[in-house]
Chain A
Amino acid sequence: MNYKFVPKKEINIDKRFLYSFSFDNDVKGSLIFPLFVYQKENNLILIDGFKRYQQFEYNFPVLQISDKEYSDDKAFIFSINANLSFRKLNIIEKAKISMLVSLYFNSTEDEIIKILGIGKRDFHKLKDLLLLDESFKRKLAKWDFPKKNALLMSDNPNNWNIIWNDLKSLNISASQFRKILTVVNELSKRKRILPTKIWEDMKNQLKKHQLKLDINSINLILNIIQHPISTKMEDIKKTIIKDLELPENIVFNFPVNFEGEYLDINLKINSPKELKIIIEQLNKISDKKSFNKIFSDLL
């Protein structure tokens, strides 16, 4: 653990700083600004953040609070509040706060949860995200990845490290990763198996279809696994349209998630004569067996 915390009772009063809440600079861009507490005469001087520390060094006025007012817990809450007033904390920073609270502070939990605007259950799940690989955490911090999505990994962080190992070289975007994460997670719950099993299944199917491990192929295969009935219907639909050999000026448009309700047919004509021809063509189409399959075989 890189976090350094010195309990108040162990502080040598001669030392300049009583508390220093800071994280090691291991995750660039996901650093909690430190909080320093400085003893001056009968008061404690609280300085939050590097900027204010620098101001203090140059003798700018800083907030002074009496010793009795500030317990360890209160100082920590002050620090989080001060950090939040500067910027929004990313998900890895929140995970670190969750871990710190569970390790060092007892009475602050409810207050920190209130400040961060997180449900209690989510707050406790957050720290499991710290088990993700360093490069993965850095990426999540850089993406400013939404908490709701990131928490999908908290049950199985080591499974997600394995999946990330395949994905990290693909130059994946946050939204692409979010989609994969959601689908794999839902399939894992549907089949009651681990995310890595779903991932293995996906990779086997890629091999079977002779596809490379790239984002488009992954999405394609995951979609087939997630929507077996709908993709089968889609395939039947494509075969039927191919069989019908429609002329260019007749276009069939199926509504989204077509389930046999209705079919839009677009016709293009530029003379009354063409209209007669197209009506004849439509008559022939409607007599074809494959046309009737649209409303029967799909279902």
Chain B
Amino acid sequence: MIDHIYIEEDAFEYPKTKEILTRTNLPYSIIKQHDFFNDRNSDWNKSKKRLLLRTFKGKWLKKCPGTKNLICCNYYVINPIINCPYNCSYCFLQGYVDSPYISFMVNLDDMYKDLSDEFKDKKDHFFRVGTGEMADSMAIDNILNFNEELVEFFSGFNNVILELKTKTNNIDNILSLKKHNRTVVSWSINPDKISINEEIGTANLNKRIEAIKKIVEADFMIGLHFDPIIYYDNWESEYYETINKVFKIIPAEKIAWVSMGSLRFFPFLGDQIKNRFSNHEIFYQEMVKGADGKYRYPKPLRIKMYRHIYNTIKNINENIFVYLCMEGRDIWQKVFGYMPDNDVTVGELFIKYSGPLKDKIKL
């Protein structure tokens, strides 16, 4: 966990900086503006223990970039946190984050203003917004103490849903919140073989289940992400057991959505991964380069895996809304029996089919 805080000069005077320093009492250093370019080759492992407080000057709300030629789920992202204390072997951040820190943007008033303007300007638009694209939303919240105000901020809008995506059991900060009707807390789920061996440093499956139980009791909506689904010996039986174990403790009416996506990475990232995790057999399975340039399992295998997981879920409760992440329309057709026209229609599916969202989204 974090053992030192670095603060860029212009971030020092912000109230959030002062609050973090006072509350955590961690040692800190003030540095000049961080030169990201020159840190490109810095030690990735060191970044996991160093928090950088800085400011962000650009546009906060962004459309999830998705991937070329494939269906995206019409998701929006904000990145107040970049990087994560965990060390998942397959993590794409290894190839994208060229900084030796976990960064946190402390000019939060700018973010709230940007979001507020956007949500008010487009009242007829439904925004699903997440902080878990470039970070684990909850992993260092005991240090940042940030989600509490974020959850409350989102509760003030009728056309938005906030998603906090995590692999942790570090959820105590938000348990006592009352204004959380716009927040979905999501867990990435994999069988123990994967969570223990590949999702290094995260909470194992049982701990995640314990955390989910507490969040359900606190009356939050839940999201589940089977992503990345990973192929290995016994994957079928272990995913089956995992799904049954997780769904047993969550009332179906609390599940806002479930996503599925298979292991995928750009070739350059594959080289980096194999260099860092050279003996992890999951990276040596049969994979083919798709139209977007990423390596994935061959399509027949992906379809088989998606069908297995989808059917297992549907056997538990057929009303749960399941979607695919970064797959083509033909795979939607083969797995679900229907295909969306485009990203926008996928967005609409959430309002139409997600049980808990139906009553919450008033456009």
Contacts and interface: CB of A to CB of B under 8 A. Distances in A.
A256 B289 CA distance: 9
A209 interface: no
A189 to B, nearest CB: 5
B315 interface: no
Contacts of A189: 278-279, 281, 284
Contact of A190 (B285, B298, B300, B330): B285
Given A192-B281, A259-B290, A261-B291, A229 B330 contact: no
Nearest to A226: B286
Contact of A260 (B281, B286, B299): B299
B303 interface: yes
A190 B278 CA distance: 11
Interface residues of B, number: 18
B299 A299 contact: yes
Given A187-B284, A189-B284, A257-B290, A230 B298 contact: yes
A186 B286 contact: no
Given A257-B290, A261-B291, A190 B301 contact: no
Interface string A256-269: 11011100000000
A284 to B, nearest CB: 25
Contacts of A255: 291
A299 B302 CA distance: 10
Contact of B303 (A226, A228, A299): A299
B30 interface: no
A186 B284 CA distance: 6
Given A257-B289, A259-B290, A229 B298 contact: yes
Contact of A261 (B289, B303, B330): B330
Contacts of A226: 286
Secondary structure at the B interface, as helix, strand, loop or mixed, is mixed
B300 to A, nearest CB: 5
Contacts of B261: none
Interface string A215-236: 0000000000011111001000
A257 B287 CA distance: 10
B347 interface: no
A125 to B, nearest CB: 11
Contact of B300 (A186, A187, A256, A299): A299
B330 A257 contact: no
B201 interface: no
Given A229-B301, A233-B300, A299-B303, A257 B281 contact: no
A113 to B, nearest CB: 16
Nearest to A228: B286
B290 A260 contact: no
A168 B95 CA distance: 39
Contacts of A187: 284
A295 to B, nearest CB: 8
A192 B303 CA distance: 26
Interface in A164-207: 186-187, 189-192
A261 B328 contact: yes
Contacts of B288: 227, 230, 257, 259
B334 interface: yes
Given A189-B279, A190-B281, A261-B291, A227 B300 contact: no
A180 to B, nearest CB: 16
Nearest to A119: B275
Given A229-B301, A233-B298, A260 B284 contact: no
Contacts of B291: 255, 261
Contact of B284 (A190, A229, A261): A190
Interface in B268-314: 278-279, 281, 284-286, 288-291, 298-301, 303
Interface string B318-358: 00000000001010001000000000000000000000000
B354 to A, nearest CB: 28
A297 to B, nearest CB: 10
Contacts of B286: 226-230
Contacts of A233: 298, 300
A282 to B, nearest CB: 22
A260 B290 CA distance: 11
Interface in B56-99: none
Contacts of B334: 299
A187 B290 CA distance: 21
In this complex, which of B281, B289, B299 has the most chain A Cβ atoms within 10 angstroms of its Cβ? B299
A259 B298 contact: yes
A113 B164 CA distance: 44
Interface in A255-299: 255-257, 259-261, 298-299
Nearest to A296: B334
A201 B301 CA distance: 24
Contacts of A256: 289
Contacts of B299: 259-260, 299
Given A186-B284, A189-B278, A259-B288, 6 more contacts: A191-B281, A227-B298, A228-B286, A261-B328, A261-B330, A299-B334
Closest 10 CB pairs of A and B: A190-B284, A259-B299, A229-B298, A257-B288, A189-B284, A186-B284, A299-B300, A227-B286, A299-B299, A189-B281
15 contacts: A189-B279, A189-B281, A189-B284, A192-B281, A227-B298, A229-B286, A229-B300, A229-B301, A230-B286, A230-B298, A256-B289, A259-B290, A259-B299, A299-B299, A299-B334
